[in-house]
Structure 1
């Protein structure tokens, strides 16, 4: 072995050793911060056992029907509803929760299955002693999940609110417009999930939430982001199957339904993030309105409202609109029950 080869080998071994030390230090850092998160950001509501694992469920207020809030494809979990939760609770009972693996909720065993979402939620509500009928509110990918819940437990669901909810045909339509896939990318989520134990996620993920999001919700969700990434990756990878399941379950009968659609013009920042031109963005928004119009046809008792000054997180930009839609459906459910009783 030449001197150069010996030197190269020593450098490689030294680099490998430093990498091991860095990873070990990062892992210790991550473990410490996970422990700190449980003390700094304790469970909101309660952890409910659903058969050997627990889901976080935060129920407030009193009255019937009970409103159930389902978040979209993000790491906010129940905190996605922080701006509307208490206001809805002044009118009726309302429960927000975090799906398996998100925030405080335990991970689910085995591969992801969208049909598991309504089973988990139903089990958590039952174990907590919560009682229907339910008014389901779904944001973004939460729309398909509440549609699947309605299909699985039709006698228990009295009404729905869909908040800029995903549609089975949206990605096919966007592909027609842009010529490329507009599905959420799985690569970076998979990468983050694989390396979350090293502490790297905490170093690179800070400060990416919009400035107008609730600061406490963002701080809490960020503290639990490394442990939420496995579930986010699983849900992202299964998005085609989830939307296909929604397509088979989208008949909502005559339940009161309000569809809320974000209609603010796409900002330059969003256009850049999506990698589309302003003309393509305009066509995508027009297509989105058409798809949301279709969602409003899933029930014979529906109303569709375009929220002109709201982006995708309508509940953050215009909480009053979401609160009003929920109260409207609750009132319609109560009116229906009262007329039947007479």
Structure 2
């Protein structure tokens, strides 16, 4: 059993999945974490969103406090699991999907599979299916090398470095949540790499997945320094990669009839929702208003 502060467990297809629900109203905001993160990493914006409407955090199977699951998974498997969980937990729809990085790809796949259940999407520094073809050659080569090699055991210095980063980002979390989160990130550091191991294939799954619904969409790009990424890529390569990602985000937003692209120069990729909680929350507010306006009305 888990503590009430961590969420509630629901049985979905024989697995125990964790979900935390707060607030009242529709549409319901649903946070889809990036690889390596879990629902409670978004507790700050979840609590703020819950003052506006119903808000939900959850852990995908194989992550956080949900039951173990073989990783990586297909996007369809991940979104079918989420759809079933929302039904079992009786979470009211429609849903405003807030997907971060890999979670943004899952949000788009959810919208393809269940278009009538989606009221809008906020995509936080999303992975884009054209990334492999557009990323700088040096980054592509380094990524391939990293994918082909097993992850080395971290040194004590690396453990302390990343522990300090998480401690800083989670400093405002309640102690009963912060400590278990810190321990999870310390012990489950391989999970993010395992979950994202098939990200290119997941991108192709979305490319071939059909039309996405005409709903309001905001794409937020994080262009600030990210210490988590700079620990893996030289600053020069990370900056070039960020420029490519930002261009792809603009193209993604433009592909939606009601899409908008916003750029945050002072937020890093992994914890952009902490670095710029205000901007993420404002985007949620804007989408709640826009989804209520008829398509084509240009609702403010």
Give the TM-score taking structure 2 as reference length.
0.84
The corresponding residue for 2:116 is 155
Partner SS, residue 171 of structure 1: helix
1:285 aligned onto 2:242: yes
RMSD: 3.1
Alignment of 1:290-305 (within 5 A): 290-305=247-262
Q: C-alpha offsets along residues 201-254 of structure 1, whole Å, 9 cap, x if unaligned?
A: 999735514253113465322323477467545423222211211222374342
1:205 aligned onto 2:205: no
Q: C-alpha offsets along residues 304-323 of structure 1, whole Å, 9 cap, x if unaligned?
A: 11011111121010001001
Q: C-alpha offsets along residues 127-180 of structure 1, whole Å, 9 cap, x if unaligned?
A: 011121111000111110111111111111110000111111223322435461
* Bigger Cα displacement from structure 2, 218-227 vs 79-88: 218-227
Partner SS, residue 131 of structure 1: coil
CA distance in 1, matches of 2:148, 2:184: 20
1:214 aligned onto 2:176: no
- Tell me the CA shift for residue 286 of structure 1: 2.1
The corresponding residue for 2:277 is 319
CA distance in 2, matches of 1:81, 1:65: 18
Partner SS, residue 142 of structure 2: coil
Counting helix residues as a fraction of each chain, which structure ranks higher? 1
Larger gyration radius, structure 1 or structure 2: 1
Task: Count matched residues.
Answer: 289
CA distance in 2, matches of 1:315, 1:277: 22
- Do the aligned residues in 1 keep the contact of 2:134 with 2:244 (CA within 8 Å)? yes
- Tell me the CA shift for residue 116 of structure 1: 0.9
- Do the aligned residues in 2 keep the contact of 1:259 with 1:303 (CA within 8 Å)? yes
CA distance in 1, matches of 2:29, 2:240: 34
The corresponding residue for 1:87 is 48
1:329 aligned onto 2:287: yes
Taking a change above 3 Å as real, the CA distance of residues 179 and 92 of structure 1, as seen in their structure-2 partners, is closer
Taking a change above 3 Å as real, the CA distance of residues 120 and 179 of structure 1, as seen in their structure-2 partners, is closer
Taking a change above 3 Å as real, the CA distance of residues 94 and 224 of structure 1, as seen in their structure-2 partners, is same
Give the TM-score taking structure 1 as reference length.
0.74
1:121 aligned onto 2:78: no
The corresponding residue for 2:35 is 73
CA distance in 2, matches of 1:252, 1:134: 14
